[in-house]
Amino acid sequence: MQEIMASFFVECEELHEALIDALQSMADGEHDDETINVAFRAVHSIKGGAGAFGLDDLVGFSHQFETVMDACRSSELAITEELVQLFLRCGDMLSDLIRCSRDGEDCDTTSSQALITELSAFAAAETEDADPADIDFQPMTLSLDDLDAPGGGLPDLPDLDDLPTL
């Protein structure tokens, strides 16, 4: 198991390097789909591996980071200079969390929680900015009258007495 975990942390370093390269490209103005996808996939992969090893601090932080990056990927959230700067700070924190997890040290949850709060604020702001007219809501009516009438109410359900016993 130790060999697998050591391999995971080597992979984390490679993924983190790809993340930082992609984030630096974003800081330089490259907001193309491939650059955003590289960054997203790196965080997503780190989160998935961390989950397999029960590295909860790393998983929790990566999850929020990934969620906001996914909103950028799907064009739900605009990539701004402020957001890219936040992503760069998150990349640094991700490095610290990887190192702490690898070395068995306690992580600075105050700093990571502050960044999670900032990420959450971006996600919440985007949700608040959504135009309610863009939501395709179609109300449905349900009549509880005549549930037993032919063609009305609930579909015929199987008789539970016909089920095999265990």
Banded pLDDT at 84 (limits 50, 70, 90): very high
- Alpha-carbon distance of 29 to 23, in angstroms, equals 10
**Does residue 147 register a pLDDT over 70?**
no
pLDDT at 132: 46
Q: What phi, psi does 80 have (nearest 5°)? A: -115, 165
Contacts of 29 (CB under 8 A, 6+ apart): none
Q: What is the pLDDT of residues 44-72, one digit of tens each?
A: 999 999 999 999 999 999 999 999 999 99
Q: What is the pLDDT of residues 89-143, one digit of tens each?
A: 999 999 999 999 999 998 888 999 999 999 999 888 755 544 444 444 445 554 5
Q: What is the pTM of this model?
A: 0.74
Give the residue with greater pLDDT, 80 vs 166: 80
Residue owning tokens 């309610």? 132
Contact 69, 39 (CB under 8 A): yes
